[in-house]
Amino acid sequence: MTFRAPVRELAFAMKTAGFDAVLEKGYADTDFETVAAVLEAAGDLSNEVLAPLNRVGDTVGAKYANGRVTAAPGFAEAYKQFAQGGWTGLVAEPEFGGQGLPKAVELAVFEMVQSANMAFALCPMLSLASIEALTRHGTERQQKYVLPKLISGEWTGAMVLTEPQAGTDLAALTTVAKPDGEGGYRLYGQKIFITWGDHDMADNIVHLVIARTPDAPPGVKGISLFLTSQKLIDENGNLGARNDFRPISIEHKMGIHGSPTCVMHYDGAQAELVGELNNGLAHMFVMMNAARLEVGVQGVAIAERAFQQALAFSQERVQGKPLWSNGGTGIYGHPDVRRTLLLAKAKTEAARGICLMTGVVADLAKVAPTAEERAGALARQELLTPIAKAWSTDVGVEIASSALQVHGGMGYIEETGAAQYYRDARIPPIYEGTNGIQAIDLSGRKLKMTNGATMRELCAEILLTAEALTESAELAPVGRRLALGVQALEKATDWQLANQGPNSLLGATTYLKLAGDVIGGWFLARQALAADGADAPWLKAKASLARIFASQVLTQAPGLAEAVMEPLPEMAEIAPEALAG
């Protein structure tokens, strides 16, 4: 099935997310017509170049042999087009060769790229995280010679964190960086799960590696961040001989086969410090937080791709006699199939909205005119980031599964492609901090940073929208259910803040789902209000999607709040042998 980049949906969603305020407050020289042209160009690239390679990425995939990784057929040529188009440098600072556009634009562009070919998109996505880290913490040399090459796409970047014994618990890492006596370091150790850690698509690959020096303090306080280059970079920025690190294998994964996940071995690789010694954890989180939001966008992207195929299949597949004839003769006319697809569409748009709203406040945290506005935007960005990552990727899995279900028996036949989306979608909830970790971060850290004030301010805004909805007979039921959702979220928030510890962590995942449901419903309600009076069928449908989400999702909010607030002490008491059967 041919993929169609949702350009008009993204443009409308950006405006609904408040993007006009970003242009007004910080990008006076950029108008929305320019942004729309960027989206159109990204849509063309996604449709014509990247989407046709998605299948070969899955069926052939990346290959490893003799210490080298070869990208899937066609990927290297596509990457050259991607780099020449300047897509890696959309947000990067102009002084280093970037275009200086808002973050929300990058998120919209990369949603289309991820939808078209998620495995391919992971390569430049990790370059984005490396660019952000070096812009914030890079040395003068790194910003002069490395940063512009990453921004241009001539080189790519990789985040190198995980070890066999050190996943979430980075304090357990053992990779060591030994001073070389000349101001640099030599890296020794092994890292796993390194996405695009090696390939043949670019001239050079830069690894940002966390390690500890021999005399570093124990635990996370002894972690530092180092830059090591696949090819040595001389004092003039020229590339030289191969450095002393290499892949020793790539993982055989359930999905995203076109993205090589490397086991990397460092055997005295020349490296240089990034930022401050023993402050690598803070520097690493610059990369991690950038990547987490991009991974949330992956959830939206795979949901969009799976939904598009399922919708097309539902109009082509004839089974039984449809009860609703306005879907033609296909299974789209069966009530449960239509319910499945409409709910999938609503959740996809809700997830898109959460990610774009996070991008908008990230932009406002940089460009808002007053310190108070910037601080408020940053606090909301930090609150929304774990929700955007976890809720959106969970939605990606759910919709990929629903789309496969719509295909029936054809769904688990690999030739239809529906199974690939499900396999691909199941991975983002795990990497860049599992969704359970995101829930703990929201409940145990982000809420406490302002003692709940940021969430309460958000709830107050949502209630204003709920009140506005009551002025429309068509949307009043959405307003009532949205208000009940806010009440449930406020109750659960108060309970979480008052019960920090094991009980709050027990309810953290449910709390994050509740927050995502309410915020997602809010975005759909805003879209319905913005589309009120429109004649175009796709805009008129916004009210229907808001009502469907309110009916099928927001009605569950009070029950989710009860689940958050019920400690269930027996969970702490049940030993594993009691479950062994």
Measure the CA–CA gap between 4 and 2, rounded to whole angstroms.
Answer: 7
- The amino acid occupying position 297 is V
Tokens 């991008």 correspond to 359
Which candidate in 163, 432, 461, 577 is catalytic? 432
**Count of C-beta atoms within a 10 Å radius of residue 471:** 10
Can you list the residues of the chain whose pLDDT is less than 70?
Answer: 1
Identify the H or E element spanning 132: helix 118-137
Per-residue pLDDT at 1? 58
- The amino acid occupying position 535 is D
Per-residue pLDDT at 189? 97
Measure the CA–CA gap between 14 and 338, rounded to whole angstroms.
Answer: 27
Instruction: Report the relative pairing of strands 63-65 and 176-179 from DSSP bridges.
Output: unpaired
**What SS3 state is found at 500?**
coil
Comparing C-alpha atoms, which of 275, 223, 7, 245 is closest to residue 115? 7
Tokens of 299: 């959830």
Are the CB atoms for 484 and 560 separated by under 8 Å?
Answer: no
Query: Percentage helix, strand, coil, to 5, in the chain?
Result: 60, 10, 25
Measure the CA–CA gap between 515 and 164, rounded to whole angstroms.
Answer: 33
Per-residue pLDDT at 286? 87
Measure the CA–CA gap between 282 and 294, rounded to whole angstroms.
Answer: 19
Length reported for the chain: 581
Identify the H or E element spanning 231: strand 231-233
Comparing C-alpha atoms, which of 293, 534, 544 is closest to residue 428? 293
Measure the CA–CA gap between 481 and 496, rounded to whole angstroms.
Answer: 22
**What SS3 state is found at 193?**
strand
Whole-model pTM? 0.96
**What SS3 state is found at 261?**
strand
Measure the CA–CA gap between 316 and 67, rounded to whole angstroms.
Answer: 46
Are the CB atoms for 497 and 448 separated by under 8 Å?
Answer: yes
- The amino acid occupying position 66 is N
Measure the CA–CA gap between 293 and 14, rounded to whole angstroms.
Answer: 16
Tokens of 272: 């240089």
Residue-wise pLDDT for 1-37, tens only, equals 579 999 999 999 999 999 999 999 999 899 999 999 9
Instruction: Work out the burial of residue 98: count CB atoms within 10 Å of its CB; fewer than 13 is exposed, 13-18 middle, 19 or more buried.
Output: buried
User: Catalytic annotation on 111?
Assistant: no
Measure the CA–CA gap between 51 and 304, rounded to whole angstroms.
Answer: 13
Measure the CA–CA gap between 211 and 381, rounded to whole angstroms.
Answer: 29
